[in-house]
Structure 1
Amino acid sequence: MTPPARRDGTPEKKKRDSEMLLSNAKPARRQNVKRNKKATAQSVASDLGADWLYEDSSSAHNPNAQGERLQKVLAKAGVASRRHAEVLIEAGRVEVNGEVIKRQGVRVNPNVDIIRVDGVRVNVNEEHEYFILNKPRGMQSTMQDDMGRPCVGDMVAEKTASGQRLFHVGRLDADTEGLLILTNDGELANRLMHPKYEVSKTYLATVLGEADKALIRTLKEGIELDDGMAKADFVQVVDKNQGMSLIRLELHEGRKHIVRRMLKAAGYPVQRLVRTKIHTVQLGDMKPGGIRALNSSELTSLYKAVGM
């Protein structure tokens, strides 16, 4: 049979299978998949560049969905491995802003959210820095001194120059040496200095005169100063030798020159004064001018002392 002719008069050839036309359309990534409403919404979110809205089912209703996963934050803070952190979460031992979290994948903002494990706050804010300094005698408790005198700021100049804005928690007068906390955590600093929380401080005072039990009783019962009564929580005569005594005092007040004024009023003028401890944070064997970071147990103890 003669094949039908084309309009130009030439016969039309029969197409072979190999000459069939191919479509240029790109195949779908998933074929014949039934999609639910959430999957459809997730696709729309992806098209809008908002994949974080549906990154995982447990964080879909979390207001901090753009943060980091809770188990990752706990692992970075050294609490546990990620797997162990997941176990802690499942057991209901982790709180975020006072709410117990039991589902995995919840996202948090380490710079804002307060996270606790077994009721103990964990420091997850990488921007916060905490140090203790053994302030030498003769140094001003300021970050900068207008008169050019040696000050605490000189000792942490490298850290402040690198962008860390540190400030001291409370003061020690120039003639008093010892433990000074430096941080950029304003909330913790304010609470440690606030009289409401009664954070204890321990001092070693070298005084003129050989102290006895009468001094201990006087300081613990209270001694009248020009700005009111002052009491020590604990007093101990550590040593006496050649007309001098070494006294350990613990008190929670923070009035100016409080230790010097108490001992002077009791008849034992101070020759040397060293602060050795704030709450559970101790100076230890640090040399004058030494600086070190607070460890996690020390920081946790401070948090607890001021209700953070």
Structure 2
Amino acid sequence: MLHRPAARRGARHRPARRVVDRRAGVPRLRPGAGPVPRRQAPVARLDAVSRDVHRLGADRLRRAGRRSSGAGPRRSECTTVRRWIVGMLITLVVAVAGGALAWRLASPAVMPEPPVTERARAAAAVLADAHVYVDPSVDGVFTDQELARLEDAAAASDPQVFVVVWPDSDQAGYGFSRDVLRQIGAETGRPGVYLEVSPGEDVDSLDVGIEGEYFSVFGAVDGAWSSAAETARLLDEIAENDGREYTLGEDTGSDYWGGTGGTITAGLLIGGFSGICAGVLGLIGWALVRRRRAAA
């Protein structure tokens, strides 16, 4: 049996030394030591905080503290309202843009007309007394027999047809084929259907000075282009145009969408649908970004 030496008289009592087990995170005493004094409890809490910082990281620990502070719900509500306002603004902008686009497509006469080009003046000078104009740069592409057949069919058609044959060009001074066809019709003063034919390219058409059943020619011939194939295709289109009901005069309003009311309705539908699509895409993007941030 071991005997401890007696303490000297007058010696001060020293508290037991504390040993911290950092793996378990719980302070323990050496065998035979008394309880941990209260003044050493903050040290244990400090070790626990250090462990949390090492395990979670400072940023995630800060975010966790913010969520538990009670300001989270209010901030979430503000963020939701802000996103709702942004979504409504995006929808409104897209709706207005869609309505403007529909109005532009349906009512080209409302927009200011571009200046008359020399190309249009040259074609109008010939079409004032004929029904087929061939630009000198493409002279010889169609045979004389093919041009004569087109001339006879276009003159006999009701409403009349006027054919403009020239090469396609981006430097002619106009943006769309319909613009120059309208210029030619205005210069000639002859109402009817005006066709633009560019060898190897799409054919386009426009009613000038008449209002009638819908009729449109657009696109290129099937297969390899040839003057014979193009002539046969044009003769078929002229025959289809012959006999359709029409009235002289051109409505400056929108007939494509069924009048002004139809244009407004179409604009609202196009804009609303575009706004909904933009809102859905925005929500999907926001959800993906939020998921990535949560996983970080």
Q: What TM-score do you get using the length of structure 2 for normalisation? A: 0.23
Structure with larger Rg: 2
Higher relative strand content: 1
TM-score (structure 1 length as normaliser): 0.22
The structure showing larger relative contact order (alpha-carbon pairs under 8 Å, at least 6 residues apart) is 2
